[in-house]
Amino acid sequence: MGILNVTPDSFSDGGAHRQVEDAVRVALQMEADGADIIDIGGESTRPYSDVVEAEQETSRVLPVIEQLAGRLTIPISIDTSKAEVAERALDAGAEIINDVTGLEGDPLMGELARQRSVGVCVMHMKGTPQTMQDDPCYEDVVAEIERYLVERLQACERIGIRRDRICLDPGIGFGKTHEHNLTLLRATRRFVELGSPLLIGHSRKGFIAKLIGDPLADRTAATLGVSLAVAAAGAQVIRVHDVKPTVDALKLFEASGGLN
């Protein structure tokens, strides 16, 4: 899953793709580089980010989706927690809703997903982007997030969203300390065993800078290290900014026995 943020303030690439033509060019290149999904977002969910109104968020993502829908051969995912934004994105050609609130932030989101028979990515987040890093605490981070994902999977099925359309995401960096993130990554196989596709979104995040000891260092190689580890543990969707290095690394990792 290639990340395409059309925002001014996302933590890593904010402002990089604000012009529609730039965003379209990057998305097409991601597909050429081997991406299987393009995930387009118009609101930053980094820690302490500002809330964006639905109309502004829509104005950012819709022109890009409209231009890409007839040119990409891979699915477009809309990264939003607002049903209004998701509906307009689906009308424009998106096929997946990627919701950091686990379809709980907007009471209309679940029904929209059911009615439109689209894929959904259901993520765990403790609190909101504005509060999630205010001393996040767990008694057992793996067990608690596993329980939450099972509950959300069952809730989606109860309202008529088919299991084969549901992807689960433990929410790396969303209301977790650096150690929580590492603990969750080491538990990837346990989340895979829940039986739904698992999405891991670790790309360029703060725990990586913490581990390599330099907040200003390029995080591509370190992100690749995590990508290979979670792929080996069975994660089916790896959400990254740098598609080509990831695809190349996975090809060679698989060819040399890493995914066996």
What's the pTM value of the predicted model, to 2 decimals? 0.93
Alpha-carbon dihedral sign for residues 110, 98, 126, 163: positive
Cα(102)–Cα(179) distance, integer angstroms: 23
From the list 60, 152, 176, 239, the catalytic residue is 239
pLDDT at 196 over 60: yes
User: Residue 200 in contact with residue 228, Cβ under 8 Å?
Assistant: no
User: Residue 122 in contact with residue 102, Cβ under 8 Å?
Assistant: yes
Residue 18: per-residue pLDDT: 64
- Has residue 251 been placed in a domain? yes
Q: pLDDT by residue (tens digit) across 159-193? A: 999 999 999 999 999 999 999 999 999 999 999 99
Per the annotation, the verdict on 239 as an active-site residue is yes
Residue 50: per-residue pLDDT: 79
Q: Which residue has the higher pLDDT, 145 or 7?
A: 145
- Has residue 98 been placed in a domain? yes
Q: In what order do the strands lie in the sheet with 2-5?
A: 2-5, 38-41, 76-79, 96-99, 119-123, 166-169
- Has residue 233 been placed in a domain? yes
Residue 11: per-residue pLDDT: 47
Residue 17: per-residue pLDDT: 56
Return the CATH number at 86.
Answer: 3.20.20.20
Q: pLDDT by residue (tens digit) across 54-109? A: 999 999 999 999 999 999 999 999 999 999 999 999 999 999 999 999 999 999 99
What number of other Cβ atoms are within 10 A of residue 69's Cβ? 15
- Has residue 63 been placed in a domain? yes
Cα(101)–Cα(160) distance, integer angstroms: 19
Number of structural domains the chain divides into:
1
Structural domain range at position 169 = 2-255
User: Residue 233 in contact with residue 188, Cβ under 8 Å?
Assistant: yes
- Has residue 217 been placed in a domain? yes
Residue 235 — very low, low, confident or very high, per pLDDT cuts 50/70/90?
Answer: very high
- Has residue 260 been placed in a domain? no
Which SS3 state, helix, strand or coil, does residue 172 take? coil
Q: pLDDT by residue (tens digit) across 5-54? A: 998 754 454 445 568 999 999 999 999 999 999 999 999 887 877 789 99
Say which residue the tokens 């090809």 belong to. Answer: 251
Cα(260)–Cα(257) distance, integer angstroms: 5
User: What are the two backbone dihedrals, phi and then psi, of residue 184, each rounded to the nearest 5 degrees?
Assistant: -65, -40
Residue 128 — very low, low, confident or very high, per pLDDT cuts 50/70/90?
Answer: confident
Q: Which residue has the higher pLDDT, 15 or 196?
A: 196
Cα(67)–Cα(168) distance, integer angstroms: 28
Collect all residues with Cβ–Cβ distance below 8 Å to 59 and sequence separation of at least 6.
Answer: 42
From the list 152, 165, 205, 219, the catalytic residue is 205
Burial class of residue 232, CB neighbours in 10 A (0-12, 13-18, 19+): middle
Lowest mean pLDDT among 16-20, 153-157, 178-182, 224-228: 16-20
